[in-house]
Structure 1
């Protein structure tokens, strides 16, 4: 039991948020436009620009993934108001200076929200949180993290449809979709935004709402990412009444994976749809101290208030016949749940994902396991040779029909998921490691594994509609937007051209996923 207690934070520090490639140390390349931009920003926004070899620069260089920290911009600019963001963006685009934007800094791959030799706009100072007088919405600055939001709302008996890990940023998770404890009833985070305050490439500030003048921009920002359209500076989010949640984290030995995977498939096709207050995910990882593979099932229920009884939807996961290594059942507020899955900063990170349709039988999900084990064997051998630590994860997350139905509010989001196409399972491969020497090998192995999963699904006629890829877990080279479907992809490109007709963001805003 002592070993489990020591490993518990690592098991729960699963990468539930974004991903990827080579990560050799990146140094600023000479860029005359960036140098001019840093000088001009220093004049226009005194005290907001941080140059290399200063304490402020080092402070802004803090990222979740070490691969991002190794990227060095010519300068950081750290606005604390929308007007300062507007001035910075207008200046950068007028000078044709390459830049990127950092909110929570939780992208795994190098250059996702940092830029070598350019300007990184750090939104951390936009961290205001204001609950409306009617308790139906909350205004959240783009630099906030989910723990900031939950700590403001928990004492009021309120919550938002937001992230599941304390240090993940509000901005990146919401713009990419945003899986939540409350998704079964309300959809994803992007489906619960009332208003986006957005700085366009010209520096103009607009508000995008479902029924307003910028409804097309509102639609595009619901899962379409931000770097093609504008810098979101504030989110007005729907608020829900919410007390403590029931939660249970069960660790099983690897020999139980067939049973647990079959139960997960059952939840995908019918269990979660019948119990929309329930939420869960499955994790398989390798823990040498426990003798090999272990399986984690994290289960949540937002309306079950009995800490001594298991909700019906999860009863089979607690069957006495199932061998378990540890069970942690509790009633917790949202903030505590977010801290339970707090993801430590400073390691090297990557994540890749794909989806399979509900037509996939439990056998298909089980047949992915030996593919994952082959991947793990490669990683462990390479880590041993490089004297590096490595922790690989296989994650299943069920996107049931009730979640997809809830996504259709206010005209639907940009993701292209439709209830009539049926539920899907996200298959995610995430790795944490310590040595830069393993970067390319881990990326290549992860890419190969996802390709094998796609091929296996195709052979079983279980490819999801459009081959959807969840942006927030995607590898840098994955074609995320193709998975949104041809119609949505064309519409996203049209919106981007409408709001950035000269292509300033397309050509200057580096990092994350782009509409080419």
Structure 2
């Protein structure tokens, strides 16, 4: 691999020299940093339709495409490439001038700087939204600018589906590079395990492939390492036959919360629905501090539905509870995902934090007993505050499928048993409440981890797609064994640390 990078680097240096020889054009932002001005000017000279300055309509539109207002930043300029060559040219120029940059796919991660920058250039992948299906229908090639709703709707016309994100408005890249939890994970592993090839731009501008036979070390690392090894410009994913499924969302008022929790505990127990690999659930508690109320919600899906069933057995415990609303019925997957469009609401501030617990009845009890009282106490004065406690089961079959597919950087052991990937979500309105929300997140996670460790049910894993600022997700991969390998691979493909130093936002593996 090292020889491959070295042999192409001379080409990249030559292109960098050509770019640097271009005379910068004038613009209205001449008072800004001259190095940054040079980078944007050169890219703008070569790609005038892809480079956008503050004050233009294109800049304003692109800079609004973040899910959470906590992530709004002001890049020096925004570059919207249309193909891999554009991305390569940008990386070469940014490397040459040592200009900081960020890359945004869907912009759904509510961590400031993960997909934006106040210090340099934003590479927005909006225009890289191509789709292609192999002749036999087995491989879907998708661009990083797509959102999952787009992908599923396109594939539905071919009666195919992929193992991807669970929410229609979420971007493709963040899900797949963070691991990706899917409604089909119990059978097929993490979404990343279903990528058969990554096409990406390396730190020296080389456009490379990473798969089971070419750059296989990089292929392993990309499955869970986020943006630490390159900029992915195309994902090739296995497809599977699409079929009708029983799916929907069930909501419960406060008076039904205890019944809901009991049903979830039964679902996790021996003989419960957790052993049905065709079933996926996303149980959650919803806390409204201003109203001092706690409600519940569960997404249910069973993709092995047969017409002689009214309700799949694995889901009867939830369906049988008197509910405030229930949309579950037989439908297509894209139709079901229309219910998730609410996750595209960009009018609020949001935070994520993650931890994990072994999937036991005690875990459900601890979550319910620990966090709601803290939320009701600390967030009562936070305007329009909402707290979601998402309790996502990750099963032994999910982790075994991940290993059977070739493994990944997360490298979780199926022999450790089922666990709950817990996501703490806070939504609110006002920037002045940021400090209070951060204090709550810290107190809530510390309390839950302390309680789970005391009960001997703590599981050492933080799911990157749900993680928050400052969480050290990579140190927990493979029980601490993956990180050094990830760093070694990073040094081989990015010896200058371009994706560590010049692209500092998000979760970094370090030197």
Taking structure 2 as the reference length, what is the TM-score of the superposition?
0.89
Query: 1:411 is paired with a residue of what secondary structure?
Result: coil
1:259 match: 259
Measured in 2, the distance between the counterparts of 1:295 and 1:410 equals 35
1:439 match: 434
For residue 504 of structure 1, report the CA deviation from its aligned partner. 1.6
2:402 match: 407
1:501 match: 495
1:474 aligns with 2:470: no
Measured in 2, the distance between the counterparts of 1:191 and 1:266 equals 29
251 and 307 in structure 1: CA distance in 2 versus 1, 3 angstrom threshold:
farther
252 and 68 in structure 1: CA distance in 2 versus 1, 3 angstrom threshold:
closer
Measured in 1, the distance between the counterparts of 2:106 and 2:70 equals 12
Measured in 1, the distance between the counterparts of 2:33 and 2:215 equals 35
Q: For 1:487, which of 481, 484, 500 is the aligned residue? A: 481
* 372-381 or 33-42, which deviates more: 372-381
Q: Deviations over 1:152-171 (max 9, x none)?
A: 11122110001111110011
62 and 442 in structure 1: CA distance in 2 versus 1, 3 angstrom threshold:
same
Measured in 2, the distance between the counterparts of 1:264 and 1:113 equals 35
* 248-257 or 471-480, which deviates more: 248-257
Instruction: Give the 5 Å matches for 1:98-497.
Output: 98-210=100-212, 212-225=213-226, 227-270=227-270, 271-287=272-288, 292-306=293-307, 309-319=310-320, 322-342=321-341, 343=343, 344-358=345-359, 361-383=360-382, 388-464=383-459, 467-484=460-477, 485-497=479-491
Q: Is the 8 A contact 1:129 1:141 kept in 2?
A: yes
Q: Deviations over 1:269-325 (max 9, x none)?
A: 543553111000111113589982211122101121449711011112233xx3422
For residue 38 of structure 1, report the CA deviation from its aligned partner. 0.8
Taking structure 1 as the reference length, what is the TM-score of the superposition?
0.88
Q: Is the 8 A contact 1:244 1:331 kept in 2?
A: yes
208 and 41 in structure 1: CA distance in 2 versus 1, 3 angstrom threshold:
same
110 and 194 in structure 1: CA distance in 2 versus 1, 3 angstrom threshold:
same
Q: Is the 8 A contact 1:273 1:402 kept in 2?
A: no
Q: Is the 8 A contact 1:67 1:110 kept in 2?
A: no
Q: Deviations over 1:65-93 (max 9, x none)?
A: 34356310000000010111111111111
- Larger of the two Rg values belongs to structure: 2
* 253-262 or 216-225, which deviates more: 253-262
* 305-314 or 420-429, which deviates more: 305-314
Bigger relative contact order (CA 8 A; separation at least 6): 1
For residue 410 of structure 1, report the CA deviation from its aligned partner. 3.8
Q: Is the 8 A contact 2:366 2:448 kept in 1?
A: no
1:19 match: none
Measured in 1, the distance between the counterparts of 2:35 and 2:378 equals 41
Query: 1:120 is paired with a residue of what secondary structure?
Result: strand
* 427-436 or 270-279, which deviates more: 270-279
For residue 118 of structure 1, report the CA deviation from its aligned partner. 0.7
Q: For 2:509, which of 491, 504, 515 is the aligned residue? A: 515
Give the count of matched residue pairs.
477
Measured in 2, the distance between the counterparts of 1:426 and 1:410 equals 21
Q: Is the 8 A contact 1:71 1:116 kept in 2?
A: yes
Measured in 2, the distance between the counterparts of 1:441 and 1:175 equals 31
For residue 379 of structure 1, report the CA deviation from its aligned partner. 4.8
Q: Is the 8 A contact 2:379 2:440 kept in 1?
A: no
405 and 207 in structure 1: CA distance in 2 versus 1, 3 angstrom threshold:
same
For residue 246 of structure 1, report the CA deviation from its aligned partner. 0.7
1:24 match: none
Measured in 2, the distance between the counterparts of 1:74 and 1:350 equals 25
Unaligned runs of 5+ in 2: 1-30
1:90 aligns with 2:79: no
Q: Is the 8 A contact 2:357 2:363 kept in 1?
A: no
Measured in 2, the distance between the counterparts of 1:159 and 1:71 equals 35
RMSD: 2.0
* 364-373 or 470-479, which deviates more: 364-373
